[in-house]
């Protein structure tokens, strides 16, 4: 089964170059950069933290981001140790610097989709759509830029949704115990 997944991943990496264009390259580099260190998600949290009725949601997003990154970056990546697809490419094929750490699962994607999960439970539909759009752009950019395999991103999205959903339950229980 893993061989089959790897074949699909390799095929996507090999064929993604067909979809590149200068404008798409700029968009994808910007989307990927927005996900660096969760910058976009902390920026998204600011209005939540400022607006008192949504403050708990902003705190829940930060809580979820921390838990997701702990599981993804500090545990799973170090266990799996999957090499990135860009490590097999020539330097001139790379549009961004090669990330230093392991590939599986995608940290950018897991962080993005944990925010989507919290938004699904806590936000109006229009906020969910904006957050989902940003998350999909970030996830897509990671494959487009060939720093992640498709399966890294798919598992990152699933991990993010699970962690975000769990964080809502945990956070709500914590908040109830203080009230």
Structure tokens at 136: 């999909």
Task: Tell whether the model's pLDDT for residue 132 goes beyond 90.
Answer: yes
Kindly report the number of other CB atoms within 10 A of residue 113's CB atom. 28
The mean-pLDDT minimum among 25-34, 92-101, 129-138, 152-161 falls in 92-101
Query: Domain extents for the chain?
Result: 21-178
Q: Does domain 21-178 have CATH number 1.10.606.20?
A: yes
pLDDT band at 90 (very low <50, low <70, confident <90, very high): confident
> How are the residues of the chain apportioned to helix, strand and coil, as percentages rounded to the nearest 5?
85, 0, 15
Task: Tell whether the model's pLDDT for residue 125 goes beyond 70.
Answer: yes
Across 156-160, average pLDDT: 97
Query: Which long-range contacts does 3-6 make (Cβ < 8 Å, 24+ apart)?
Result: 5/151, 6/149
Residue among 67, 63, 64, 47 nearest 55 (CA): 47
Across 152-160, average pLDDT: 97
Residue 70 DSSP label:
I
Task: Tell whether the model's pLDDT for residue 109 goes beyond 90.
Answer: yes
pLDDT of residue 10: 86
Summarize pLDDT for 46-89 with one digit per residue, the tens.
Answer: 999 999 999 999 999 999 999 999 999 999 999 999 999 888 77
Cα-only R_g, the chain: 17
Task: Tell whether the model's pLDDT for residue 157 goes beyond 90.
Answer: yes
Across 157-163, average pLDDT: 97
Residue among 99, 106, 116, 95 nearest 19 (CA): 95
pLDDT band at 179 (very low <50, low <70, confident <90, very high): low
Q: In which residue are the tokens 């925010």 written?
A: 115
Residue among 80, 137, 135, 141 nearest 105 (CA): 80
Across 90-106, average pLDDT: 82
Angstrom distance (rounded) from CA 134 to CA 132? 5
Across 10-15, average pLDDT: 87
Classify residue 56 by burial, with Cβ atoms within 10 Å: 0-12, 13-18, 19+: middle
Residue 56 near residue 175, CB atoms below 8 Å: yes
Across 174-178, average pLDDT: 81
Angstrom distance (rounded) from CA 150 to CA 61? 25
């Amino acid at each position: 089964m893993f061989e089959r997944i790897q074949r699909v991943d390799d095929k996507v990496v090999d064929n993604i170059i067909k979809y590149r264009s200068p404008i798409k390259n700029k968009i994808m580099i910007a989307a990927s950069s927005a996900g660096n260190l969760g910058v976009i998600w902390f920026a998204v949290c600011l209005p939540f933290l400022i607006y008192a009725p949504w403050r708990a949601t902003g705190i829940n997003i930060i809580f979820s981001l921390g838990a997701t990154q702990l599981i993804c970056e500090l545990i799973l990546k170090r266990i799996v140790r999957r090499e990135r697809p860009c490590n097999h490419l020539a330097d001139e094929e790379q549009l961004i610097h090669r990330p230093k750490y392991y590939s599986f699962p995608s940290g950018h994607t897991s962080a993005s989709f944990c925010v989507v999960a919290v938004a699904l439970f806590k936000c109006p539909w229009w906020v969910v759509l904006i957050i989902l759009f940003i998350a999909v752009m970030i996830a897509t950019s990671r494959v487009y830029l060939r720093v992640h395999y498709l399966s890294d991103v798919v598992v990152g999205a699933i991990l993010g949704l699970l962690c975000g959903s769990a964080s809502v339950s945990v956070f709500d229980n914590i908040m109830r115990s203080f009230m």
